[in-house]
Amino acid sequence: MLTAAEHFRDGRFFNPGVPDHGFLDALQWMRNRQPGPWRQWIPSTPGPRPPERAEGAELRVTFVNHATVLLQTEGLNLLTDPVWSRRVSPVSFAGPRRHRSPGIRFEDLPPIDAILLSHNHYDHLDVPTLRRIAAAHKPSVFCPLGVAPLVRDCGLRDVQELDWWQGTAWRGRDIHCVPAQHFSARTPFDRNRTLWAGWVVEAQRGNIYFAGDTGFGEFFREIGREFAPVRLALLPIGAYEPEWFMGPVHMTPEQAVEARMLVGAEVAIGIHFGTFALADDGEADPPARLSRALQGRQDAERFRTLAEGEGQEVP
């Protein structure tokens, strides 16, 4: 149920203090696009089947690709913004399509206990994938305000819908909805009718932060102050060009580096790149720019990217 808040007015959500680009801005971008290079298809081999569970304080991260990440810790398996479809679009024959396969085959997923959804864009909330997960795993789902009806239509029943800075208890720990700087829409007529968000999962060894899809803002400092210590942050690094247009809703790699510092994350892993061509940065631009931003820094090893299907234990 939608609630009155500092980021909700006249039936729509907004980013406080951030101007929203309008139709004319989008038209200007489309008329002057200079997209970077993408291969039509990027051959890859699926990664190995992840372990069934990671027990105790062990934290294992498997990067499926884009914003889909498998998090395993304390005997629980969580999946962020799961997308296994070939296209992220309202139709199967048009719209943004994959340039590479998911890094993990769907049938190789371990039992999924919970899903963290950041917002309702098609590249983050994929109805066919959610229906497959509902049938195979029946997980709990955590989503921002207004998203629950669509999630329930996918056959998922244990759905908790939260506003920014709200938390809820789940299996002996708290899960918190935190601010992000983005927007929402699934049609030309429902822009910002539902909320966008990041998530913090409390854990004994240190908290886990999934930023979702977001531009850069002071809320990173607030999240770090509220939820220290942050053991791991999943931060988007792609879809930032042209910066004059994408800047309010997508971070650059340099901003992601600063966001890790503001959050105080021991380790950050870059997401949201290399799978769907959503802006004008090329296929290889985000990780290359991240590498340049980290060059010469003493904390460079604290921010890394994973290949699709790669799993890694977080210290």
**DSSP letter for each residue of 33-57:** --PPP--S-----PPPPPPS---TT
Rounded-to-integer distance, Cα 155 and Cα 268, Å: 33
Q: Looking at residue 1, what is its pLDDT?
A: 44
Q: Is the pLDDT of residue 254 over 90?
A: yes
Pairing of strands 12-13, 303-304: unpaired
| Helices and strands of the chain, counted as H and E runs | 7, 16
Which long-range contacts (C-beta less than 8 Å, at least 24 apart) are formed by 183-187? 183/15, 183/20, 183/119, 183/249, 184/13, 184/119, 184/120, 184/121, 184/146, 185/120, 185/121, 186/90, 186/120, 186/121, 186/122, 186/150, 187/90
Mean pLDDT of 306-312: 97
31-68: pLDDT as tens digits: 999 999 999 999 999 999 999 999 999 999 999 999 99
Tell me: pLDDT of 2 over 60. Answer: no
Predicted confidence (pLDDT) per residue in 70-97, tens digit: 999 999 999 999 999 999 999 888 889 9
Closest CA to 35 of 250, 278, 294: 278
Amino acid at 147: V
Is residue 233's pLDDT more than 90?
yes
Residue 212, classed as helix, strand or coil, is coil
Where along the chain do its domains lie? 52-314
Please report which confidence band the pLDDT of residue 4 belongs to, taking 50, 70 and 90 as the band edges. Answer: low
CATH T-level fold of 52-314? Metallo-beta-lactamase; Chain A (3.60.15)
Contact indicator for 90, 120 with CB cutoff of 8 Å: no
Confidence band of 228 (pLDDT split at 50, 70, 90) = very high
Mean pLDDT, rounded, for 26-30: 90
What is the pTM for the complete model shown? 0.97
Which H or E run contains 133?
A: helix 127-136
Q: Is 62 in contact with 47 (CB distance < 8 Å)?
A: yes
Q: What is the mean pLDDT of residues 14-26?
A: 88
Quote the CA–CA distance of 126 and 131 in Å, as a whole number.
Answer: 9
pLDDT score at 194: 98
Question: Which pLDDT tens digit goes with each residue over 101-132?
Answer: 999 999 999 999 999 999 999 999 999 999 99
Token pair of 36 as six digits = 């970077």
For residue 162, give the 3-state DSSP assignment.
Answer: strand
Give, rounded to a whole angstrom, the gap between the first and last alpha carbons of the chain. 39
